[in-house]
Structure 1
Amino acid sequence: MRVNDIDIAYDDEGDGVPVLLVHGHPFNRSMWRPQVERLRDRHRVVAPDLRGYGESTVVPGKTPLGVFADDLIGLLDRLGLDRVVLCGLSMGGQIAMELHRSHPARVRALVLADTFPEADTAAGRDLRNDLAARVLREGMGPYADEVLDKMISPANVVALPAVAEHVLGMMRGTSPEGAAAGWRGRAERPDYLDSLSRVAVPALVVVGEEDEYTPVAVAERMHAAIPGSTLAVIPGAGHLPNLERPAEFTDAVERFLATL
């Protein structure tokens, strides 16, 4: 679908309360397949590829989180969806926080999974910009191989070979230009703790118990910041609990949706 002068690929399945699933970096909408297949029985589930990722248009340069959020608002407008349950993981969670900050009236409820609410440090900004330059030089393969056992737990790389292959395939298949633009934009993100303290809709914070990138302590900090929020820690999972422990992750989301 044409939105903001780019083409956005997306899945739109089921009927009922709409749920918008926002993928992480450097992935695509296929990371949500286990959730789409379960939630679509009771909900309308929309899972897009963000600009620069999957089958959506690649725009080189820098993509701030606000641009991703505006793309999602444009997609919701085209689909005739006013308010949605907004669910984002990792970078997708930061995009969800940005969308909530800039368009709070469009969010019926919020699910933030394995994500980080603060702005980058100077060292963090340098790292993201260095990674952007690196994948433009080398392609995505070396980076993907290097971080696989941080994206999912080392134990799950061994125990869940099909999941490991899927995660590796998404990373290797991402456009280096799209990934670099995403990294550069994230490096400049604001701190979201203040806007999270003003969340006035139901909210669920989810985290994999073994997540190295956004540990349980980070999720607890977000949970404490968001009034009335719920926290779910998924055992036996790293940074991608929706793929490593899909039943447990989706159970937590379904229990939350049942309270709306």
Structure 2
Amino acid sequence: MSHIALNDATMHYDDQGPSDGLPVVLVHGHPFNRTLWGPVAKVLAAAGYRVIAPDLRGYGDSSVTPGKVFLSDFADDIAVLLDHLGVERAVFGGVSMGGQITMEFQRRYPQRVRALVLSDTSAPAETEEGKEFRNRLADRLLAEGMDGYAGEVIDKMLAAYNVTALPDVAAHVLGMMRATDPRGAAAALRGRAERPDYRDTLAAVETPVLIVVGVDDVYTPVSNAEDIHRLIPHATLTVIERAGHLPGVEQPEQFNAALLDFLSTQVASRA
């Protein structure tokens, strides 16, 4: 693990695999950290890719920015990290909120994106109901902490049957959620509530795109992935069986097979 100083925060990150490998940036969702990508990063690095996985500000080992943190702030942080590492262009992948940060990076820095991997995410701006929900949840997390919330949502983060079928995975996901600083989680929730609509951004993407979704995702169901696919007809859509909102940890073999095939056949051969 390494870290860099941003203008007003400190970001911790992992940088694995050969330094001359094709860079792949993996962005975790809420309320997790970079270890969410452990099963994916290990396989990609072994296959010769350079895997960069940051802890977003407010999550994991990175410092907390209270108040409100926008998706654009997260995207700008990643751009600073890549400048620090001397990486001009990379494949960008994200799950859930991380997928929306990936879309925001595409919106702000399209020239730096070699390909996109969008897992279990959605493109439209937040609804008014959704804004109210996220702000109420932010208030709750600040008042009560993460433990109660983590227990309530574990069977939505993972497919309910995987909570019992995959106890080590469930323990890891619960551990990440419970370890997250409520101030960081609340700030991200408030910023995410004000996110823009990314549908026009996605419709203009010309680089390769992989869309992945767990077949039993209740937060961003298969229909959301299909909506994104309609926006990007040249994209590849892969539905992961026996998985919910986090297929990369629920079914890493399926997820990794889809990702490695995408990288080798659609990305690595392109200039």
Give the TM-score normalised by structure 2.
0.95
The unaligned stretches of length 5 or more in structure 2 are none
Counterpart residue identity of residue 10, structure 2: D
Q: d(CA) in 2 for partners of 1:8 and 1:19?
A: 17
**Counterpart position of 2:81:** 75
**Counterpart position of 2:141:** 135
**Counterpart position of 1:50:** 56
Q: d(CA) in 2 for partners of 1:30 and 1:48?
A: 9
Q: d(CA) in 1 for partners of 2:120 and 2:111?
A: 24
Of residues 235, 242, 255, the one that matches 1:229 is: 235
Of residues 4, 7, 10, the one that matches 2:7 is: 4
What SS does the corresponding residue of 2:223 show, helix, strand or coil? helix
**Counterpart position of 2:183:** 177
Q: d(CA) in 2 for partners of 1:229 and 1:176?
A: 36
Of residues 25, 35, 41, the one that matches 2:40 is: 35
Structure 1 residue 96: Cα displacement: 0.2
Structure 1 residue 67: Cα displacement: 0.3
What SS does the corresponding residue of 2:239 show, helix, strand or coil? strand
Structure 1 residue 3: Cα displacement: 2.2
Check if 1:94 corresponds to 2:108.
no
Contact 1:13 1:44 in 2 (8 A): yes
What SS does the corresponding residue of 1:250 show, helix, strand or coil? helix
Structure 1 residue 4: Cα displacement: 2.8
Counterpart residue identity of residue 26, structure 2: L
Q: d(CA) in 1 for partners of 2:6 and 2:15?
A: 16
Counterpart residue identity of residue 189, structure 1: R
**Deviations for 1:156-202, whole angstroms, at most 9, x for unmatched residues?**
00100000000000000000000000000000001101110000100
Contact 1:86 1:111 in 2 (8 A): yes
Counterpart residue identity of residue 249, structure 1: F
Check if 1:215 corresponds to 2:221.
yes
**Counterpart position of 1:203:** 209
Contact 1:198 1:227 in 2 (8 A): no
The unaligned stretches of length 5 or more in structure 1 are none
Aligned Cα RMSD in Å?
A: 0.6
What SS does the corresponding residue of 1:8 show, helix, strand or coil? strand
Percent of residue pairs identical? 58
Counterpart residue identity of residue 175, structure 2: G
Of residues 18, 33, 50, the one that matches 2:23 is: 18
Q: d(CA) in 2 for partners of 1:8 and 1:250?
A: 26
Q: d(CA) in 2 for partners of 1:227 and 1:194?
A: 13
**Counterpart position of 1:193:** 199
Of residues 164, 167, 170, the one that matches 1:158 is: 164
Q: d(CA) in 2 for partners of 1:163 and 1:102?
A: 34
Give the TM-score normalised by structure 1.
0.99
Counterpart residue identity of residue 183, structure 1: L
Check if 1:63 corresponds to 2:66.
no
Q: d(CA) in 1 for partners of 2:186 and 2:130?
A: 15
**Counterpart position of 1:247:** 253
What SS does the corresponding residue of 1:194 show, helix, strand or coil? helix
The number of residue pairs the alignment matches comes to 260
What SS does the corresponding residue of 1:109 show, helix, strand or coil? strand
Structure 1 residue 6: Cα displacement: 1.4
Counterpart residue identity of residue 91, structure 1: M
Q: d(CA) in 2 for partners of 1:198 and 1:255?
A: 24
Contact 1:120 1:187 in 2 (8 A): yes
